[in-house]
Amino acid sequence: MKNHTIKILEYLDDHGLDIFTKDQVLSIDTIPPSSVMRGVKKLIDQGYLRVIEKGKYCRHNFADEFVIGTFLVKKGGIAYWSAMNYHGLTEQIPNTVFVQTNQWKKNKNVFGVAYKFIQVRDYKLLGYQEKGFGNSRFTITDVEKTLIDSFDQPEISGGYPEIIKAFYQATINPVKLKRYCKAFNKTALTKRLAFLTEFFNKPEMDVFIDYALSVRNENYDPFWPYQQAKGKVNERWRIILNIDEKEILNMRH
């Protein structure tokens, strides 16, 4: 009878599995379940496989940070600063992989890489793209969702100057931006983005601007939410420019 460890490796090869769960290998119907797990343990001891976390494994040479990050959560994907870097919206390379999910999960280190899990409400779980191929696929927020997430939580997106630069450089789909802002239902956030859209003369954004005008309220919100609400007032968007306009322009590059 063929060695169980060889059968497990052949199964992984046949199904193109570089990263997999306990349940996946237990589906091998030619090996008793108890023997499967003994075989997996032996392969780990021999260095052929590595443990990502309980019940989740990968081959010894598999190290795709985004695939692993997505694999660690049931719902969600790569987001915030990590997504900004992936989309070329920042030159800064974060030393942490940021993963957005709707469940609480303790931050952890896997194979020397730090993963930070950001728990959000279900309504924020939108705007994901699937990247990669085969077993090495991962989900990541698209450009528009990445921008909204970043303005929603700038402290895990490189900071306000960095996300303003990202917004200036990005090619933005106004329909997506409208859809995501509507889902977030944060008027102050929408007004900030609308102000920047016009301030930077972003082209063909009428769909988003019309939506922003329709939800604009009477409140005067600070442009930079973590700074004192003091400065020039933009009446159109009812925003207090607590950053000088010249300073905003300087953040473009």
Tell me: do 49 and 106 sit in the same domain.
no
CB of 147 within 8 A of CB of 167? yes
Tell me: do 95 and 71 sit in the same domain.
yes
Q: What is the pTM of this model?
A: 0.94
Tell me: do 95 and 110 sit in the same domain.
yes
Give the single-character DSSP code of 245. Answer: H
Is residue 46, in this structure, part of any structural domain at all?
Answer: yes
Is residue 16, in this structure, part of any structural domain at all?
Answer: yes
Q: How far apart are CA 226 and CA 244, in angstroms?
A: 15
Is residue 177, in this structure, part of any structural domain at all?
Answer: yes
Is residue 164, in this structure, part of any structural domain at all?
Answer: no
Is residue 157, in this structure, part of any structural domain at all?
Answer: no
Tell me: do 74 and 137 sit in the same domain.
yes
Choose the final residue of a domain: 146, 162, 192. 146
Q: How far apart are CA 131 and CA 78, in angstroms?
A: 11
Is residue 160, in this structure, part of any structural domain at all?
Answer: no
- Report the amino acid identity of residue 21: T
CA distance to 30, 75, 139, 148, per residue, from 78 (Å): 37, 11, 6, 14
CATH number for the domain that contains residue 22: 1.10.10
Q: Residue 16's domain spans which residues?
A: 4-59
Q: How far apart are CA 220 and CA 238, in angstroms?
A: 5
φ, ψ of residue 139 in degrees (nearest 5): -105, 145
Tens digit of pLDDT per residue, the chain (253 long)?
Answer: 458 899 999 999 999 999 999 999 999 988 998 899 999 999 999 999 999 999 999 999 999 999 999 999 999 999 999 999 999 999 888 999 999 999 999 999 999 999 999 999 999 999 999 999 989 999 999 999 999 999 999 999 999 999 999 999 999 999 999 999 999 999 999 999 999 999 999 999 999 999 999 999 999 999 998 888 899 999 999 999 999 999 999 998 8
Is residue 166, in this structure, part of any structural domain at all?
Answer: no
Q: Which token pair is 15?
A: 């199904």
Is residue 126, in this structure, part of any structural domain at all?
Answer: yes
Domains identified in the chain, total number: 3
